[in-house]
Amino acid sequence: MPIKPDRIGKITSNIGKASILILGDIMLDEYLNGTVSRISPEAPVPVVEVTEDQIRLGGAANVANNIRALGDTPYLMGTIGLDDAAIKLSQLLTSHNISKEFLIDDKDRCTTIKTRIIANNQQVVRADRENREEISAEIEKRILDRFKTVKDEIKAVIISDYGKGVITQSLLAKLIPACLERDIFIAVDPKDTHFFNYKKVSVVTPNHHEAGFVAGRRIRTEHDLDQVGRHLLEKLEAKSILITRGEKGMALFYADGTRDLFPTVAKKVFDVTGAGDTVIASFVSAVCAGADLKEAAIVSNCAAGVVVAEIGTATVTRKRLDEELREHFANGD
């Protein structure tokens, strides 16, 4: 019996009462939607006739948007450039009721933009504008100074590492111990280059490709999965590892080496963009609402099933999450 109906109500009714810090690489996602009816005479590539242009919050900002959609209070911390993209990003944050108080202007960096061209509901190409150099010591100090102003208010920290330079080994070496001292729940959406710097955190949420790569073993079977999960637990000394497995669902490994498997509940999959952001946001939100690790994994699995049915980065509300959980577990099975 994975989650009892009375626990669903208790958890979802408590979601929305926590302040959660999201630290990481902030991005602007741009979508050019259109149709294709011909091939370019200039090169063997499709000509996309753009019918719609959208911008959305991406990266750590999308995690913050997921936290806000669930009703919790996100403190979004990271860098932006002094450019037009930063203005658009700030306007989007305001429209989503996400504070800009903890954004740090960095004159040496541009605001990251990912432009996706989508034709007939299928992504054709992505163009990135970004700076992946690590932040300076000055910017790192400003981030840590901002963290100190909220450390007594937050219940959890989400580290959203997209490898764009905000999350550094030096920053983690200072931030993680400060969180552990205050018993702040630490969740990490990892980048392989920093993977083994996330020591002693509460949960790390790699997908199966990332987990297999850093463990040096491709995950083809459940035996491979067990070996990778336990190896990562031992290396990281983490409380848990949540490996997302695409159409196979998720696997949650606990500190004692045991694990639980959660089959996907997605009815249809259109786009997995941003699904990892939803997983980590809903997992942390559930923990802050009193869920144990297993219950939090069930909650995040349901949340992921909702967003992959949408095109582009999407979110799930507390009400929708409650409905999904009750649909799948109304009888406690």
Q: Which residues are catalytic?
A: 277
> How many CB atoms are located within 10 Å of the residue 141 CB?
13
C-beta atoms surrounding 7 within 10 Å? 18
Would strands 250-254 and 240-244 be described as parallel, antiparallel, or unpaired? Answer: antiparallel
| Phi, psi of 61, rounded to the nearest 5 degrees | -65, -35
Count of beta carbons in the 10 Å neighbourhood of residue 214: 21
* Tokens found for residue 106: 């960095």
The Cα–Cα gap between 170 and 57 comes to: 27
Q: Which two tokens stand for residue 41?
A: 């005479």
Cβ 324 vs Cβ 302: under 8 Å: yes
Distance CA 283, CA 72 (A): 12
Give me the sign of the Cα torsion angle 46, 50, 52, 58: positive
The phi and psi torsions of 59 (rounded to 5 degrees) equal 60, -135
Which phi and psi (to 5°) does residue 86 adopt?
-65, -35
In single-letter form, the type of residue at position 160 comes to S
Q: List the beta bridge partners of residue 242.
A: 252
Instruction: Record the tokens describing residue 69, joined without a space.
Output: 């959609």
Token pair of 76 as six digits: 């979004």
Calpha distance 147→20 (Å, rounded): 11
The distance of Cα 32 from the centroid of its chain, to the nearest Å, equals: 23
Taking each helix axis from N to C end, the angle separating 293-307 and 5-14, rounded to the nearest 10 degrees, works out to 80
CA distance 272 to 276: 8
